[in-house]
Chain A
Amino acid sequence: MKLPLAIIGAILLAALIGPALLPWSHDAIDWGAIRAAPLSPGHLLGTDSVGRDLLARTLVGTRVTLAVAVAAALVALLIGVAWGATAGWVGGRVDEAMMRVVDALYALPFMFVVILLMVLFGRSILLVFIGIGVVEWLTMARVVRGQLMALKERPFVLAAEAAGARPFAIVARHLLPNVAGVAIAYLLLTVPQVVMIESFLSFLGLGVQEPLTSLGILVKEGADDMDVAAHALLLPGGVLVTILICLTIAGERLRDRFS
C-alpha cells in the first residue's frame, strides 16, 4: 500500500508544482520548435504538432484529470454515504424503496446518462464531474448501507440510545465513523474509475475542452500522431496507466483490511 500511494503522491506533486517551474505553459506555442523530438533544447519531452511543450501539457493534463476524478469521487462519497446511511438506518420499506432506486440506476447505461447530461446542459468541466459523481455513488451507497445494517445491530448502538443520544447523534457519532474506513477504501477505488470515464469522455471530445487539456485529450492527440511521434502517446498513456494501477492496488488493499 505504501509504494502505490508514494507513486501517486509523486505524480500529484509533479502535477501541482511542475507547470509553475517550466518556461512554457500548456497552451503556449513555440513557433520555432513545432514537432520537436524529446530531449531537444528547451523542450525536455519535445512538442506536439502545433509546437506546444509536451511536458507542460502532460503535467497540466494530469492535474485536470486528477482534479476531476477527486471531485467526482467526493460527490459520489457524499451522495453514496447519505443515501446508504439513510437506507441502512431507517430500514424496512424505506430501505427497500431506496435500494430499488439504486438497482434501477445500476441498470442504466451510465455512459449514456453522462452523454445525455452533456447534451442537455452543454459542455463544461463542472458538469463532467457532477455527471460522473451522480452515477458513481451507487456502489458506495450499497457498501455503506450494508455496513450500517451490520453495525446498528451491535449493542453499542443500543447503549448509546440508553445514554440518551438522539438518532441523528447515533448515526453521526457512532455509525458513520465506524463506516469511514470502508468508505475511504471505496473512495480510493472510485477515483481510478472516474479517471477512466473522464479520459474516455475527453477522448471522445465530450469532456474537457481545449485549450484546457487532460490525459484523455493528450492520449487522443498522441494517438493521431503515433506513427510519427510515439512518445506523444506513450507519455500521457503511461501516466494514466500508472495512476490507475496504483490507485486500484491501494484501494483494494485498504478495502481488504476492513472486510
Chain B
Amino acid sequence: MTAVYEVEKLVITIRGVTVARDVGFRIQQGECVALAGASGSGKSQCCLAPFGLSPGVASGSAWLLGKDLVGLEERRLRAIRGRDVGFVFQQPLTALTPHLTIGRQLSEAWQQAGAPRPTRAELAEALARVGLDRPGERLEQFPHRLSGGQRQRVMIAAAIAHRPKLLIADEPTTALDAAIRADILGLLSRLRAEEGLAMLLVSHDLAALADHADQVVVLNDGRVEESGDARTVMATPSRPYSRALIAASPRLDSPRAPLPPVGAPLIEARGIHVSFPRPGWRRGRVEAVAGADIHVAEGEALALVGGSGSGKSTLARAIARLGPIDRGDVRWRGRPLPARQAMPPAARRGIQPVFQDPVASLDPRWRVRDIIAEPLRHLRPELDGARRAARVAAALEEVGLDPALADRRPATLSGGQAQRVAIARALVSDPEMLLLDEATSALDVLVAGRVLDLLESLQRSRRLALLFITHDLAVARRLCHRIAVLDQGKIVEEGPAERLITAPAHAATRKLVAASH
C-alpha cells in the first residue's frame, strides 16, 4: 500500500537558518502520524513549509499522492492545498473572519474547492457532522458568538468540506480547554475512520497524542529525537527529551505547596445575569450567565472552571466591569462597584486582566515599554515620566524579562514573552486582584509551566487575589484555594480545591475531573 504523504530527508531553512534537518515519516490512508516537540522544535515548519504555508524553504522531498511538493511553484501548490489537503490551525479565535456568518464562511470553503454553492441543509449537515449543536441556528451566527471549541469544529468542517485525502492539524487543541480537547481529538479520529483520511497531527501534548496517533515523531531543535509506535514511545520513551516533555503536563496527583493565607472579603458578586441578543432578526436573548454568585477574599485564589461556552469568561468579565451585565450586585470591599462606563480610575486599578491569547492582547503597533506603561498613564496620572519608566523597568524585572525587550514590538516576542509582558502590564498599577482568563492555555507546555511558576511566586510575594479561569483542574489545584464549576451559566458546584477534585458531586465536575487524568 502506498503512502498518502511521505516526507524524506526534509530540510527547512528560514532566511538562512536551518529549522529542521533530515526529517522523515510516512502516512498511510486512515493513519495518523503525530509530530511532537516543544515550541521552536520545528514541528509546525515541517508540516507547513512543504505546502508553501510558511516562509520556510524546503528541500529534500515531500510526496503527496505520488507528487513531490518540494520546489513546486506557488500556483500549483495552491491548487493542491485547495483540492487534496485540509488544514486545521491552532488559533480558532483568529482563523475565522469576524464579520462573516459561519454559514457564509463554510459556504466559501466549499466553493473555493470548486464545489457548487451548498444548500442550507448541506451546510447544517456539515456542522452536525462535526458535532455542533443546533447547526441550523449556528449558520446565522458570527464567529465571536461561538466558543473556542465550537469555532474549531467549524474550522474542521471547513477543512474537510472538499473531502481532502490528507488532513493537517497544527496544534488543533492547544488553545482549547481540556474537556474540549479530548472531544476535538475524538472528532478528528472519528472523521479519520469515517472518511479514510490520512492525518498529520502536530502537538506538544504527548499524553493526548497517545490515544489518537498511530505513529509519533518527537522533534527537538529541528531533528528527529525519537520516532515509532505512539504507545511504545509514550510508555517507554528512550530519550531524555521525550521524558521531559511527558513530565511537563501537570497532574492531579502531583504534590502542592501550601497556599498563602486568606484575608478579608475583597469582591462579592450576587445574582449575576448576562445575556446576549439572539442572532439575526429574531427577538429575544440567550442567557450566558444565569444568576451566579461568587466571592474572592484578599490573597485568595478562586478557580472558575467549566467547558467552553459555560459562561466562565462572561461571568468574570461582567464582575470585573469589562463585559456586559444585565443585572446583579457586585461589591468591592463591601461597597457597590460602579457600572462599566462609570468606572473611575481608582476602581479600575483594583482588578487587572490577563487574557488567553498573549499576542492578540498586545497592540501590535505599540512598543513593550508603552504597552506596560498604559495603565500607569490612565490610572496613575500623578506619576511623571521618569517614575513611570522606573515602574515599567521594575515590572519587566518582576516578570523575569530582559529590560532590553522594552523597545521591541509584540510581533517579535515569543508567546511566553508576550504573556509575561501582559502580566507586567497587569501588575504595574499595583492591583489587588488579577483576572487570569485562560492565561496559560495558549502557551506551549514547557512555557506554560514557567508562566505558572511566575504566577505562583507573584501570588505569594504580592498577596494577590486571583480569579483564575481555566479548564485545567491540575493547574487550578496548584494555585487555587477554591474551585467553582460553571455549567450552562450556573455555578453547579463550589468548594475547596482538594475536596472538589477528590469527591466531585456534580456530573459536570466529574466530567472535568475525568478529562484531566
Give chain A's interface residues, CB within 8 Å of chain B. 146, 149-150, 153-156, 158-166, 169, 174, 177-178
What are 15 inter-chain pairs, A to B, with CB distance below 8 A? A149-B98, A149-B99, A150-B98, A158-B361, A162-B322, A162-B348, A162-B352, A162-B353, A163-B374, A163-B377, A163-B378, A166-B378, A177-B363, A177-B365, A178-B364
Q: Tell me, in angstroms, the Cα distance from A163 to B97 when the chains sit together.
A: 27
Q: Tell me, in angstroms, the Cα distance from A160 to B375 when the chains sit together.
A: 8
Which residues from chain B contact A169 at a C-beta distance below 8 Å? 378
Which residues from chain A contact B228 at a C-beta distance below 8 Å? none
- Beta-carbon contact of B322 and A161 below 8 Å: yes
Asked whether A146 and B365 contact (CB < 8 A) given A162-B353, A164-B378, the answer is no
Which residues from chain A contact B349 at a C-beta distance below 8 Å? 164
Which residues from chain B contact A159 at a C-beta distance below 8 Å? 353, 355, 361-362, 422, 425
- Beta-carbon contact of B355 and A158 below 8 Å: yes
Which residues from chain B contact A156 at a C-beta distance below 8 Å? 360-363
Question: Looking at A154, A155, A165, which has the most chain B CB atoms within 10 Å of its CB?
Answer: A155
Which residues from chain B contact A178 at a C-beta distance below 8 Å? 363-365
Q: Tell me, in angstroms, the Cα distance from A141 to B425 when the chains sit together.
A: 33
Give chain B's interface residues, CB within 8 Å of chain A. 97-99, 144, 317, 320, 322, 343, 345, 348-349, 351-353, 355-357, 360-365, 374-375, 377-379, 422, 425-426, 429
Q: Tell me, in angstroms, the Cα distance from A178 to B411 when the chains sit together.
A: 13
Which residues from chain B contact A155 at a C-beta distance below 8 Å? 355-357, 360-361
Q: Tell me, in angstroms, the Cα distance from A162 to B320 when the chains sit together.
A: 9
Q: Tell me, in angstroms, the Cα distance from A145 to B322 when the chains sit together.
A: 22
Question: Looking at A154, A165, A174, which has the most chain B CB atoms within 10 Å of its CB?
Answer: A154
Minimum CB–CB distance from B369 to chain A (whole Å) comes to 14
| Partner of B99 from A146, A163, A164 at Cβ < 8 Å | A146
Asked whether A164 and B375 contact (CB < 8 A) given A149-B99, A159-B353, the answer is yes
- Beta-carbon contact of A158 and B374 below 8 Å: no
Q: Tell me, in angstroms, the Cα distance from A30 to B460 when the chains sit together.
A: 90
Minimum CB–CB distance from B315 to chain A (whole Å) comes to 15
Q: Tell me, in angstroms, the Cα distance from A154 to B362 when the chains sit together.
A: 9
Which residues from chain B contact A154 at a C-beta distance below 8 Å? 360-361
- Beta-carbon contact of B360 and A164 below 8 Å: no
- Beta-carbon contact of A164 and B345 below 8 Å: yes
Q: Tell me, in angstroms, the Cα distance from A164 to B379 when the chains sit together.
A: 6
Q: Tell me, in angstroms, the Cα distance from A166 to B426 when the chains sit together.
A: 17
Q: Tell me, in angstroms, the Cα distance from A169 to B364 when the chains sit together.
A: 16
Which residues from chain A contact B378 at a C-beta distance below 8 Å? 163-166, 169
| Partner of B144 from A146, A153, A163, A177 at Cβ < 8 Å | A153
Q: Tell me, in angstroms, the Cα distance from A160 to B379 when the chains sit together.
A: 11
Minimum CB–CB distance from A85 to chain B (whole Å) comes to 15
Closest chain B residue, CB of each to CB of A145: B99
Q: Tell me, in angstroms, the Cα distance from A101 to B67 when the chains sit together.
A: 53
Minimum CB–CB distance from B269 to chain A (whole Å) comes to 17
Q: A162-B426, A164-B349, A166-B378 are in contact. List 13 more A-B contacts (CB 8 A).
A: A150-B97, A150-B98, A153-B144, A155-B357, A155-B360, A156-B360, A158-B317, A158-B361, A159-B355, A160-B374, A164-B345, A165-B374, A177-B363
Q: Tell me, in angstroms, the Cα distance from A177 to B367 when the chains sit together.
A: 13
Which residues from chain A contact B356 at a C-beta distance below 8 Å? 155
Which residues from chain A contact B353 at a C-beta distance below 8 Å? 158-159, 162
Q: Tell me, in angstroms, the Cα distance from A156 to B362 when the chains sit together.
A: 5
Asked whether A150 and B99 contact (CB < 8 A) given A163-B379, A164-B378, A174-B363, the answer is yes
Which residues from chain B contact A162 at a C-beta distance below 8 Å? 320, 322, 348, 351-353, 375, 426
Q: Tell me, in angstroms, the Cα distance from A155 to B356 when the chains sit together.
A: 9
Minimum CB–CB distance from A227 to chain B (whole Å) comes to 46
Q: Tell me, in angstroms, the Cα distance from A178 to B362 when the chains sit together.
A: 12
Minimum CB–CB distance from A99 to chain B (whole Å) comes to 11
Closest chain A residue, CB of each to CB of B97: A150
Which residues from chain A contact B361 at a C-beta distance below 8 Å? 154-156, 158-159
Q: Tell me, in angstroms, the Cα distance from A149 to B142 when the chains sit together.
A: 12
Minimum CB–CB distance from B123 to chain A (whole Å) comes to 23
Minimum CB–CB distance from A83 to chain B (whole Å) comes to 17
Closest chain A residue, CB of each to CB of B379: A164
Which residues from chain B contact A146 at a C-beta distance below 8 Å? 99
Which residues from chain B contact A174 at a C-beta distance below 8 Å? 363
Which residues from chain A contact B429 at a C-beta distance below 8 Å? 163
Q: Tell me, in angstroms, the Cα distance from A149 to B345 when the chains sit together.
A: 26
Which residues from chain A contact B322 at a C-beta distance below 8 Å? 158, 161-162
Minimum CB–CB distance from A241 to chain B (whole Å) comes to 29
Minimum CB–CB distance from A108 to chain B (whole Å) comes to 25
Q: Tell me, in angstroms, the Cα distance from A160 to B355 when the chains sit together.
A: 12
Closest chain A residue, CB of each to CB of B428: A163
Which residues from chain B contact A163 at a C-beta distance below 8 Å? 348, 352, 374-375, 377-379, 425, 429
Q: Tell me, in angstroms, the Cα distance from A146 to B345 when the chains sit together.
A: 31
Which residues from chain B contact A177 at a C-beta distance below 8 Å? 363, 365
Minimum CB–CB distance from A68 to chain B (whole Å) comes to 32
The list of the 5 closest CB pairs from A to B, nearest first, reads A164-B378, A155-B361, A163-B375, A155-B355, A150-B98
Closest chain A residue, CB of each to CB of B357: A155
Q: Tell me, in angstroms, the Cα distance from A162 to B343 when the chains sit together.
A: 10
Question: Looking at A146, A154, A159, A162, which has the most chain B CB atoms within 10 Å of its CB?
Answer: A162
Closest chain B residue, CB of each to CB of A150: B98
Q: Tell me, in angstroms, the Cα distance from A207 to B482 when the chains sit together.
A: 74
Which residues from chain B contact A161 at a C-beta distance below 8 Å? 322
Which residues from chain A contact B97 at a C-beta distance below 8 Å? 150
Which residues from chain B contact A160 at a C-beta distance below 8 Å? 363, 374
Minimum CB–CB distance from B316 to chain A (whole Å) comes to 12
Q: Tell me, in angstroms, the Cα distance from A54 to B97 when the chains sit together.
A: 52
